[in-house]
Structure 1
Amino acid sequence: MLPRIIITSPYPEFGIITESICRKLSVEPIIVGGVLEDAVRTVLDIAKKEDIEVVISRGGTANELMNFTEIPVIKAEADEFDVLLALWEAKKISPEKIAFLDSIYHKSSHDYQNIEEILGTSIRRYTFRDFTELQSQIRKAHSDGMKVLVTGSKLGVNMATEIGMQGVIVRSSRRAIIQAIERAKEVIRIRKIDKGYTQRLRTLMDSVKEAILLMDENNRIMLINDEAKSILKLNDQQALHKYIYNVNNIWLEKVYGDGNPCFGNLVEIEGVKVVVNRCLVTNDNENFGSVIRFQGLSALQDLEQKTRKEIHKKGLFTKFTFKDIIGTSKSLSEAIEIAKIYGETDSTVLIYGESGTGKELFAQSIHNVSPRKDGPFVAINCAALPENLLESELFGYEEGSFTGAKKGGKIGLFELAHGGTIFLDEIGKIPLSLQGRLLRVLQEKEVRHLGGDKIIPIDTRVIAATNVNLHEAVQNGDFRPDLYYRINVLQIKLPPLRERKGDVKQLFNYFVENFNKKYGKDVTGISHELESWLEAYDWPGNIRELANFTERLFVLSNGKSIDNNFLKKFIEINDYKNTTLCYGNAEYIAVPSGTLEEMERELILKLYEKTGYNKTKLANKLGISRNTLCKKLNIP
């Protein structure tokens, strides 16, 4: 495609000559006849519809165009020889009384003294800025008695003729026109290179999730990327090439600030926090403008979190949901329903439960139904680490903050959990010396690295768990009361396995299925004796103990079933010597080993439970009276 050029023609011959030259130089021109405001309006109208790369003009029209368009304007000015020819022609008409009308911008561009000496006559000069002054200056020349008017346009000659003066046009030479077109082609070539750089820069700017503004040395907006337009609610027309103070936008004023370089400035506008960075563009102490980068704090934290997750994948995801919780007992079902309600909130949750009751399983399940489910889940056992290591793990540290600190420092678990959930297991075991710092993090929602002075805002939900009575720990002085009340917002108590005996068989079958897959076995024959023993045993280690028991049973067993002889021996040689496996023809009940009286009472209690606590029915079954039964059970 040929380069598109607009050429303003101050007189008809100029347009004809220029168009002919353009064809020879492989340029496609648009000729606009006229001067000053009329020509400027026409050029601007065309530029709105066409991709115009350069404008060739001259005199006052060229200067007017420079004030109203960013399109490069090349001047095809008449040189002194062209002026001399026009004045020589004017002298032929009238040896004296010659007026020379020129744009005020060119009033000193010609050596009139030498021209007057060459011509042997005086020349009176008149200057103008716009169409109105053009008219008034021609009338003034006429009133001054001037006979001939020398000017640069057909319009000026026509005005002079109308009031009785002669007119001569200063024509640009063919050489001047060719030079202007060649300069225009060079400008187009350079602009094409510049467009390539600009487009690559714009593509780069639009590819990042950060708002960017490029300013020139006069604080005009030269480039603005899509993210900045979105945040500032501006479009190209409202922003590009505008002085920053002329853009009526409170957001823009805030991010620009005083214009001085800054890094990490936190600006709040209408409740939204934005992080702003400004830097100058300089070379050899020459100022070329500035770059302003800004980003919403929440978006920046999300980006940081994404980066952290890539670096620290371990432990940042959940494996369990409420569907993974095995059991249908009333106490467990109630705990699940409460936990689901808590999951819909963002408040701190405190989970009470004995060791092995599934506190982390509940914590992960709560996280997975919460609005933070797509964020990280970070868990730490507060009792598993010594005090100094626990502090650095929770809050992070700077390089050189202590002996053995990693180069570059390390971010803490609260930062890793930004946008998600942190699970503080065994929170009751946190040393008193750390409890105050933890309280501040929970209250202020910000952390500071060990050895650092930078405050880092965080957005993290806390779920804590404990197997000790924190209220008693507060009374004993082992736990801060303010921290206790801070974490004890929503509370869940998980029932131990001994209080949900009806779930034991279901859990055991679940573990059987898993260990069949793990060890490549097909154990299906579970005896009634084993089922009864499973329900009778108290499981002080809760679900964890049941899982370990099942795995140990699998490892040592052979075949597809577990016979009673093997089971009896297994129970005796393992950690279950205080229990006895009982079996007969119809019903099997396991009771703990003890004195005969203790075992009898335990057996009667289990039968009492099986009969639905019906004393008469149980007494008849045992062949004893109700009074005797009540005495044995020590009940009224």
Structure 2
Amino acid sequence: MDFVLQAREAGFDVGSLELPAESWLVVLDEEQRIVLSNEDSFAFVGKRPEELVGKRLGHVISLGFLLPFIVRGVSFQEQPVWIDGAKYYCNYMPFGRNGQATGGCFCLLRREQVSDGLLELPGLVGSLPAGVDMSGDSLIMVNTEGVITMISQPFADVLGLAAGEMLGRHVLQAYPNSNPSRLPSVMDKGLAEEAEPHLLNGRHAIVSRYPLFRDGEVVGGWGRILFSDARELFQMAEKVQAYVRPPARRKVSRRGGNAHCFKYDCNSIIGQSRVMKDLKERLLRIARRPSNVLLLGESGTGKELFAHAVHAASQRRYGPFVRVNCAAIPDHLLESELFGYVEGAFTGARKGGQVGKFEQADGGTIFLDEISDMPLVMQAKLLRVLQEKEVTPLGGTGTRSIDMRVIAATNVDLEERVREGRFRTDLYYRLNVISLEIPPLRNRREDIYFIAKHLIDDFNAEFGMAIQGLDDEAWKLLESYDFPGNVRELRNIIESAFNMTDGPLIRAADLPPTIRRTRPGAAGGKAVIPARDELLSAIGQKSLQEILEEMERQLIEASLERVGGNKLSAANVLGISRPGLYKKLNKYNIQ
């Protein structure tokens, strides 16, 4: 029987691995015992497969320096091993990831089956810094062609991959959501780069890179991750400084709070759809530049999450992140909130004055949410701040220079607002240097599963429960629903279900009525508004007031969906005031 089929029957999938012909192939369990061997064993070690099963590989051949690598799940290619004085070469590809040892595939080769320019570890020890434990570090090694010949699972874990997936790939094509590897440059120059920041899978890591020499010639390169998240280094530095320096009177920062903290990063954005992968890659490119960013998307799509991710991936990531909701602050208070004020600036002014949001964001990022709701007078003042990079507090006479990046967000068509004269053209172009359009959830339905699973994990931790997921009928309802409230609505749906369910799975009956009225498979997945017959059938079952309230709630939901979640537009469509709409939203608990 074919070795791949035998391995699959034994519970090991080796179909994705490159298995050379005329080599000894062995499947090992987590204790390095031989589970399966091909018939070539006799040609290499003089034993039939049935004689080898159950034995530890290290008792069959002497693994020497390679044993710790295999035990710790390091993937490697073309490393030397000796059998009865003869030199062979071997590959090893573990099956597990995230620190879980689940065995691997060992392959033994003859010299004529391997490439030239081998990176044999015993001959490279002199190139390695003292104290390096290569089998335990987050390590990667490449040959002069840039092909990965060795990689540890801790390194691959940072990238969210299995080490075996990366082995044999070119290093410039192996890192998702990351800056390109600099190992080729290190090999070209022959100079090490130690403790350098590098973006890996959306997070800033601290890494070191070294050329590998043999007989004075560069034969490869290797790197290791010192800190998978640079914040660990800053926290360590703060502890050291507190220990070696006597406590001094703390100077009050005008930024306020902890400036070296960000709430989310690119990894916080859940989504496996093509559109979301492309969006995250674009986000990482944009984040490295200093330009202002405009985030576009319907209500509930996660614009604030994207703003945090841009900040976290930028050079300002250890500066402050200041959020301002332009719609939530009354017009007459917005200027004092943004610019701050000096003592005595107006009646009721706080003693000592107040630092404005612009100054708090100095050295970091300010996020102006719902920028479309900013009054025209304030738009003119914001434009001046963007142009001059300075602010004057209310009641003050002197200007203060600021250095900040602006990320603005809106759920309305700003170009339409410009045409209507409700948004300044010059400010629009100042903000819209780069735009990111976040798609609604209904346009990336393949992400519903991943987001829902993430939310279930979150609520399990919060509620102290152990919900395993949704049953088939509940999944079909979610997949068919249009989610006018997008990810925010999905979160509310899952939280509501957690309050209703009494078993290991969320059932269709546990979902809110709005979802249950969705017809699975219906075009567009829209909620079905009760027809005349359905309304008539409710007579005698519900009071007239209950029937009318149900109709009113559905009309409000339909209006919000039609206008993309904009509450002012929905109020206009319904012919009621905005405060009146807010009262009804609270009454029916519509988010």
TM-score by length of 1: 0.42
Q: Which has the higher helix share?
A: 1
Structure with bigger gyration radius: 1
TM-score (norm 2): 0.45
